[in-house]
């Protein structure tokens, strides 16, 4: 029997349709394992993504933009100007 060691995980909308308790469990698991594994997450739930991410890249019309501050999500028109910054 062979053992598979995974270096990188890809998650598409991992927080969609998941109970708040399960979201927190998933975030804790990702944080724990991100020390030795890579995670690529695509999700519209920006608050949870920002909470666990070391790097955020916004994809827009085939282009990518590295997001360094929350306000850039507003500047690049991903969020409306009335959006309140989450506590990070």
User: Tens digits of per-residue pLDDT, 31-54?
Assistant: 999 999 999 999 999 899 999 999
Higher pLDDT, 43 or 86: 43
CA distance 39 to 28: 13
For domain 8-75, is the CATH number 3.50.50.60? no
38, 31 Cβ separation under 8 angstroms: no
pLDDT at 5 (0 to 100): 78
CA distance 8 to 21: 24
Under the banding of pLDDT at 50, 70 and 90, the label for residue 66 is very high
Domain ranges (residues) in the chain: 8-75
pTM of the complete model beyond 0.85: no
pLDDT mean across residues, the chain? 89
């Amino acid at each position: 029997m062979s053992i598979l060691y995974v270096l990188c995980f890809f998650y598409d909308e991992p927080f969609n349709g998941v109970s708040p308790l399960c979201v927190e469990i998933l975030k804790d698991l990702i944080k724990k394992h991100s020390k030795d594994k890579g995670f690529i997450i695509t999700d519209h739930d920006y608050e949870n993504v920002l909470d666990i991410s070391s790097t955020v890249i916004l994809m827009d019309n085939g282009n990518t933009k590295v997001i360094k501050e929350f306000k850039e999500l507003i500047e690049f028109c991903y969020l409306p100007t009335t959006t309140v910054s989450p506590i990070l």
